[in-house]
């Protein structure tokens, strides 16, 4: 039936997207080894080593305030402490994502047991942290704002319209937490 084929197809698309998110996630949160990276830890290290000062100091206190952190001195240490607390909160999930990336997503390691990735909710929380950091950098150092990717519903609306056009009438767009 069309519903069974649709489930199979969307299940496959969902799995591919989760694996792409896992690869992207590891890039965003990866620690530097030999080379400077475009990752959160690398950006923080670059800012600290080059003594770069925010052009909008209020963006620092606003960002830290979102995470219930008070701005102290120096601000870069407050920011690092906040990020470290978030990394600690998701330590086992981050480890599972890195292991999955290194053993069966990006590199197919023979004989490696396939482990489940964390839930979509965990990815959502961690990517929210990454998107928030991106917006913080834009606000504090470049005096611009990021695209509101977490609240932009254009893709969702378009997908709902496509599904309805092909005959799916009961499209769910919200789920209880």
Lowest-pLDDT range, 39-48, 65-74, 134-143? 65-74
Q: DSSP secondary structure string, 142-165?
A: IS-----TTT--HHHHHHHHHHHH
Rounded CA-CA distance 14/18 in Å is 6
State the pLDDT confidence band at 109, using cuts at 50, 70 and 90: confident
Residues in the chain: 177
Largest CA distance in the chain: 63
CB atoms within 10 A of CB 101: 20
Check whether 112 has a pLDDT greater than 80.
Answer: no
State the pLDDT confidence band at 106, using cuts at 50, 70 and 90: confident
State the pLDDT confidence band at 50, using cuts at 50, 70 and 90: very high
Answer yes or no: pTM beyond 0.75. no
Is the separation of the CB atoms in 44 and 63 below 8 Å? no
Rounded CA-CA distance 31/38 in Å is 10
Which residues in 57-92 are b (16+ Cβ under 10 Å) and which e?
eebbbebbeeeeeebeeebbebbeebbeebeeebee
State the pLDDT confidence band at 171, using cuts at 50, 70 and 90: confident
Rounded CA-CA distance 46/37 in Å is 10
pLDDT computed for residue 70 by the predictor = 65
Check whether 175 has a pLDDT greater than 70.
Answer: no
* pLDDT one-digit tens code per residue, 79-96: 888 888 888 998 898 888
């Amino acid at each position: 039936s069309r519903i069974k084929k649709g489930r199979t197809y969307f299940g496959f698309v969902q799995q591919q997207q989760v694996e792409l998110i896992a690869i992207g996630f590891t890039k965003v949160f990866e620690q530097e080894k030999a080379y400077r990276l475009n990752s959160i830890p690398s950006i923080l290290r670059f800012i600290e080593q080059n003594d770069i000062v925010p052009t909008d100091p209020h963006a620092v206190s606003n960002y830290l305030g979102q995470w219930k952190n008070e701005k102290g001195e120096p601000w870069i240490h407050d920011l690092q402490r906040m990020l470290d607390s978030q990394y600690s909160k998701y330590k086992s999930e981050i480890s599972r994502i890195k292991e999955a990336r290194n053993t069966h997503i990006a590199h197919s390691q023979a004989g490696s047991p396939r482990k489940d990735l964390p839930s979509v909710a965990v990815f959502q929380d961690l990517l929210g942290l990454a998107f928030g950091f991106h917006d913080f950098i834009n606000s504090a150092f470049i005096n611009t704002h990021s695209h509101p990717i977490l609240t932009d519903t254009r893709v969702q609306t378009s997908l709902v319209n496509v599904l309805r056009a092909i005959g799916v009438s009961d499209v769910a767009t919200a789920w209880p937490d």
